[in-house]
Chains A and B, each alone.
Chain A
Amino acid sequence: MEDVDLRLDGNAIAGLLGEVFALELTGARAACAGCGTIAELGAEPVYAHAPGAVLRCRNCDDVMIVVVHGGGRYWIGLSGTTSIELRNSL
């Protein structure tokens, strides 16, 4: 099996993100720290088969968001995202 088969959409981790964030995140627009591309997080490629979920930029493939859940805690890496624009309702 190749990496391409394991690629999902940001949409696929909506539940995981919903465990942590009060507002719906997959419809939110986020800016990539690497190339500046802004897209809805639900549209970004996600690899969820690792110990955590890794969300990358659809344009430059840089890692934007990492979420690891285990041992009773969440670890969230956001260094690849400069801003996230959330709507306060769907």
Chain B
Amino acid sequence: MAGTAVLGRLTWRLAEVVRLVDETPRVRSIAFDVPGWPGHRAGQHVDVRLTAEDGYQAQRSYSIASAPGAETLVLTVERLEDGEVSPYLVDELRPGDRIELRGPVGGYFVWTPEDGSPLLLVAGGSGVVPLMAMLRHRVAVRDGTPVRLLYSSRTLEDVIYGAELERVAAVSDGIEVVHTLTRSQPAGWSGYARRIDDDMLAEVSWPATDQPAVFVCGPTRLVEGVAAALVALSHDPLRIKTERFGPTGG
């Protein structure tokens, strides 16, 4: 089963870039071949370490976007203009390049189909990445868990995985994707056009009585606002798992 190779030291591995996909003008998916990769669970992340010629090292965490068991390990990275690591990953990496990573890490922000409850996913910006691993996992194993994804982006251009989300929602029973665009909307936009708020969550989320598993990922303020609103809607705090990005990811 995935995630069995947990015991033992966390070791740095050399991962080779095999494919790059531009998701938005600021976001790129990077598919790696990682010899010896022990497998992961949906929602986990890896630590990436870059070493400069003078020995200086910078390290950041990135969520895994690919489903457990997928052929390659995919990270989806947003370029932060003053970041130390993300500009290199997004702009400089080419197929054949190798970087150091370790993982998978994190046993908390993890979804498995065995949970059995409806799944509510709430994402802000690139917070959609670990939630996408959960969606992809559900699709890959033909699980029937009802899923709703509420996804907040600034503009339509900033939506990550837009085409794939549309396709998955169209062909899968029980997967609903709801977008909100907070900064600008294209002509004729019929979706939400504001930040996620209590009313929106009340409309989109499963009723608390369904005891859904909830995963919220994004900037710290969005995550905390969503979690507080869901608790106010009588959701069990212990069923709400959060992953805060903080102010930057670097």
Contacts and interface: CB of A to CB of B under 8 A. Distances in A.
A and B pair up? yes
Interface of A: 1, 4-12, 14-15, 18-19, 22-28, 39-43, 89-90
B244 A18 contact: no
Interface of B: 3-4, 6-10, 41, 45, 47, 61, 102-103, 105-110, 220-221, 224, 238, 241-247
Contacts of B10: 15, 18-19
Contacts of A89: 4, 6-7
A33 B95 CA distance: 50
B8 A9 contact: no
B246 A26 contact: no
Given A42-B108, A42-B109, A43-B241, A15 B103 contact: yes
15 contacts: A4-B221, A11-B106, A12-B246, A14-B105, A14-B107, A15-B102, A18-B10, A24-B107, A27-B107, A43-B108, A43-B241, A89-B4, A89-B6, A89-B7, A90-B4
Nearest to B102: A15
A6 B106 contact: no
Given A43-B242, A89-B7, A10 B108 contact: yes
A6 B102 CA distance: 24
A9 B109 contact: yes
Contact of A5 (B45, B110, B220): B220
A77 to B, nearest CB: 21
Nearest to A45: B244
A24 B61 contact: no
B218 to A, nearest CB: 12
B7 A23 contact: yes
B6 A24 contact: yes
Given A5-B220, A8-B245, A42-B106, 13 more contacts: A1-B247, A4-B224, A5-B221, A7-B246, A9-B244, A11-B109, A12-B246, A14-B45, A24-B6, A25-B107, A27-B108, A42-B109, A90-B107
Contacts of A40: 108
A7 B247 CA distance: 9
A41 B108 CA distance: 8
Contacts of A28: 107
Name the 8 nearest CB pairs between A and B, nearest first.
Answer: A42-B108, A27-B107, A14-B105, A18-B10, A14-B106, A24-B107, A15-B47, A5-B247
A15 B107 contact: no
Contacts of A9: 108-109, 242-244
A18 B105 contact: yes
A84 B7 CA distance: 18
Contact of B107 (A1, A22, A42): A42
Nearest to B219: A5
Contacts of B109: 9, 11, 42
Contacts of B238: 39
A9 to B, nearest CB: 5
B153 to A, nearest CB: 20
Contacts of A15: 10, 47, 61, 102-103, 105
Contact of B106 (A5, A22, A26, A39): A26
